[in-house]
Every structure is written in structure tokens, then in C-alpha cells.
Amino acid sequence: MTDSSGGSGPVIWRKDGSIISGESELTLTIDSVGTQATGVFECYRTEEQRQAAEQAIMRLIVRSCPDGKWGRGCDQDCPDCENGGVCNPSDGRCMCAPGFMGDTCDEACGSNGFGLECEYKCSDETDARETCAGRLFCIQDPYACSCYIGFKPPECQDPCDEKTFGVNCLKQCNCKEQCDVVNGACDDGCEAGWEGGDCQTECAEGKFGEDCTETCHCLDDVACDRFTGRCPNDTCAGGWVGEICQDRPCSEDPCQNDATCLDTPEEGPDYYTCTCTEGWEGTNCDQEIDECSSDPCQNGGTCTDEFAQYSCACTDKYEGDNCEVEIPCAGEDGGSPYRPPSRLNLTCTVLPTEIPGAGEDGGMSGGGSLGVMIGEIPGAGEDGGMSGGGSLGVLIGGAVGGVVFLAVLGSLAHYLIKKKSKPAVVKPKSDPADYE
Ligand SMILES: [Ca+2]
């Protein structure tokens, strides 16, 4: 019991008019409840308040059998009494709420009818349901009394509050909008977790949401929460992602580096397929391809992995993108391999030579001479590469005023760097300063 008077002091309790001794609190606890506990209970604080009708009165009805059972040993099953009907534990019949009739109270009397056979009306002039307002309908126990269906106790004057309906407004309405206060029917569908015309049926296992139209996608086909759709431990079945496992994998953009994502719900284990852009690989295209992994550089060339390509650094004897082209005259079976010298020593030898016609008029002092310069590459020829003992150049000097050298040096270096996409760099291996 709650006290809305704001008073204080001990509470007096009465049952069927007699004061219950030892009780002074707003709450009365009854132990070992049986049918003998049935009765009218009353509580108040002062006799003045009681005389002013400022007290609470309630009737307690205790059925002789548990809900749904009837008979002397309570061993008989009651019918399913609908629309607020109550099973009579003494004969197993349904006592119907005012406004309904039938063995299971499934027949509505209509607008404002009532009675065992709907033989009465709240008004003889009109069928308006409102004519039943303000009336309390009492039949035998354990049904006792109730308002006409759709009206709110205790005054039975106003219709049920929002989201409630039925006898004494005891049933919960599960419609998206307010339901019919009489039968709970929903015009605009059910709120999440419910289905059926009156939205009183829970979603079947594996369904959820408004009108139970959504399907759970939980791991191992376990049921999700019928209201929210959440899966146990938030674990989704394969091919489903998101907070309530209703999205496909591509919705979470798993593919990296501008890859294209395609949901492939029939194919595990990832249930999506990324089509990578150039240079990327992996399930999510997040790994740069190692273009050297296939060993594209031939003949001992060294591969360098780059983005979406590779480059080969060839050995001396080969060229081409993949070092697949043998350089002419660079074979190992003779010929003159181009082998840049590390140091070139030139020796000048002046040979005394008579030049015909030179002489008396002093054209050439010291006599004519022809200079020959022979260059030697230290160590050349040791590996069998150089034939002819290392003679590289022949220098011829003129006879006038000394020795003049003409040097003709062939291409000393043949050095190629080949790349697949970058221009080759040509650079001699030796410093020109080495040449003396
Ligand atoms: Ca790469």
C-alpha cells in the first residue's frame, strides 16, 4: 500500500472489519497463503481519516488451484481462457470478462454488450461502448470484478493508458502505435520482438525486429535477441558483419589501396573478394608484390624489387631487361673481352730512324725520329682474356722539334646497366685520372 496523504504514524490494518494486531507498516505480509486468506483488507492511519473515507480497501482472492488447473486435486487442465477470462478452479469453465462469451471467451459481444450470453447492453438506446464507462462488473470468484474491457480501474471511467489494453488494462500493447484498447489489435504493425494481428506473439527463433521480419545471422545459427537482433557474444555467421550481423563484408571496406571489393557470400572463408590494383596482392591487397620473387633476371643478374616493377643489374657479359642478351665479343672462349683496366702504363720508346729527305736545311734538329709508344695493362691477360701480350696503342711521333704523340685509345670501357624502365647509366669503372 502507498500513502498519498503525506501523513505519518502507524498504519492500522483490518481484514473483513477486524483489526489485525501487530501490523503498523504500509506493507502487510501474509505467510502461508491459502484460500482462508481471501477477504477484504482495509488500512488507514487514524480513525478520523477512516471516517472521512481516506482509507484503502482491497479484496484479496486466493484461488484453490494454481493458474491453469482445476478440480479437487487441481489435476485437471483448464481450457485456454481468452480475452481476460479466468478459469474456475471448481468446474474448469472459463469465466469471461464483461464483453466476451463462449467456452474460451473468444466471442466478443460487440460495442457495449455483456452477460453470460451477451444478453445485456450498457444502454438500451445506443451501442456506444462509452455507455459502459464508470461501471464495475462483478461475477463470481475468483474472477471477482472488473471494468468493462478497455476502461481503466479503479474508476473504470477512462480508456486504458497508452500501450495497454484488455480487461482492467492489464495487457501490454506491443504495437508501434497505440493499439485497440479492447483487443490489442495493431493497425501499423508491431514493435520489435512481436508479431501477429494483436502483436502478442513473440518472434520465432531466428527472427527479430518489427513484425519479426528480420532474420538473425549469428554464428552456428543460434538465435539473436528478438528485440535488438544482437547475436550472443556479437559473433556473426560467416559472410555477415556489423553490430547486429546484418551487413556484408564489403560494407566495412576491407580491400586496401584502391582495390575493388565484391561480396561473395557463397565462398568462404572471407566471403568477399578484393581485386587489387597494380602492384598489390594479398586477401586485402595490402601487400606490395615482390616482383623479384620469380627470379626474372637471368645469367646472374641482380634483381631489385620496386613498386609494380623490378630492375635487373646485369653482369658484364649480358644486357637486356632481364639480362638475357649476351654482349658480342664478350664470350669466354677467346676474343678480346672488354675489360676496363684499373691502371694503364704507357712506355715511350724513341727509335732512331732515318727519314729520307730530312736534313741539311735544319728542318729537324737532332735527326728525324719516329716515336712508338706501347702501353701495357698490368695483370692483363692473366685470366686468358687478352691476346697479344697487352699491346694497346701505337703512338707515332712527328719528326719536327721533338717527339709528338698521337694517342688512339679505343673504347676502354663497356659497361652497361640495364633497367626495365629506367635509362641505362653508362659509367666507366676506372677513373680517367688513372691513365697516364
Ligand atoms: Ca614490388
Assigned domain for 176 exists: no
Assigned domain for 347 exists: yes
- pLDDT exceeds cutoff 80 at 356: no
CA of 328 to the centre of ligand 1 (A): 32
Pair 300, 273 in one domain = no
Instruction: Name residue 312's beta-bridge partners.
Output: 303
Pair 266, 299 in one domain = no
With cell 556489423, the residue in question is 242
CA of 162 to the centre of ligand 1 (A): 67
Pair 298, 352 in one domain = no
Pair 283, 299 in one domain = no
Assigned domain for 308 exists: yes
CA of 305 to the centre of ligand 1 (A): 5
Which are the contacts of 362, defined by CB distance < 8 A and separation ≥ 6? Answer: none
Pair 277, 318 in one domain = no
Cα–Cα distance measured from residue 52 to residue 356, given in angstroms and rounded to the nearest whole number: 164
Cα–Cα distance measured from residue 147 to residue 133, given in angstroms and rounded to the nearest whole number: 8
pLDDT tens digits along 146-199 = 999 889 988 999 999 988 988 889 888 999 888 888 888 888 899 999 998 888
CA of 428 to the centre of ligand 1 (A): 30
Mean pLDDT of the region 49-65: 88
What is the structure's pLDDT at 428?
41
pTM attached to this predicted model: 0.53
Cα–Cα distance measured from residue 357 to residue 218, given in angstroms and rounded to the nearest whole number: 113
Handedness of CA 151, 153, 156, 161 (dihedral sign): negative
CA of 288 to the centre of ligand 1 (A): 5
Assigned domain for 35 exists: yes
- pLDDT exceeds cutoff 80 at 10: yes
CA of 215 to the centre of ligand 1 (A): 44
What is the structure's pLDDT at 243?
94
If pLDDT is split at 50, 70 and 90, which confidence band does 346 have? low
Assigned domain for 20 exists: yes
Assigned domain for 143 exists: no
pLDDT, mean over the chain: 79
- pLDDT exceeds cutoff 50 at 211: yes
* CATH number of the domain within which 272 lies: 2.10.25.10
DSSP state of 118: S
Assigned domain for 106 exists: no
Assigned domain for 126 exists: no
CA of 289 to the centre of ligand 1 (A): 4
Query: CA dihedral defined by 416, 419, 424, 429, rounded to 10 degrees?
Result: -40
Cα–Cα distance measured from residue 169 to residue 147, given in angstroms and rounded to the nearest whole number: 9
Amino acid (1-letter code) at residue 137: F
Give residue 308's domain range. 294-326
If pLDDT is split at 50, 70 and 90, which confidence band does 247 have? very high
CA of 319 to the centre of ligand 1 (A): 22
- pLDDT exceeds cutoff 60 at 130: yes
What is the structure's pLDDT at 342?
53
Pair 281, 299 in one domain = no
CA of 435 to the centre of ligand 1 (A): 42
CA of 31 to the centre of ligand 1 (A): 83
Instruction: Name residue 313's beta-bridge partners.
Output: 302
How far, in whole angstroms, is CA 354 from its chain's centroid? 100
Pair 317, 370 in one domain = no
CA of 420 to the centre of ligand 1 (A): 13
CA of 424 to the centre of ligand 1 (A): 20
What is the total count of domains within the chain? Answer: 4
CA of 45 to the centre of ligand 1 (A): 90
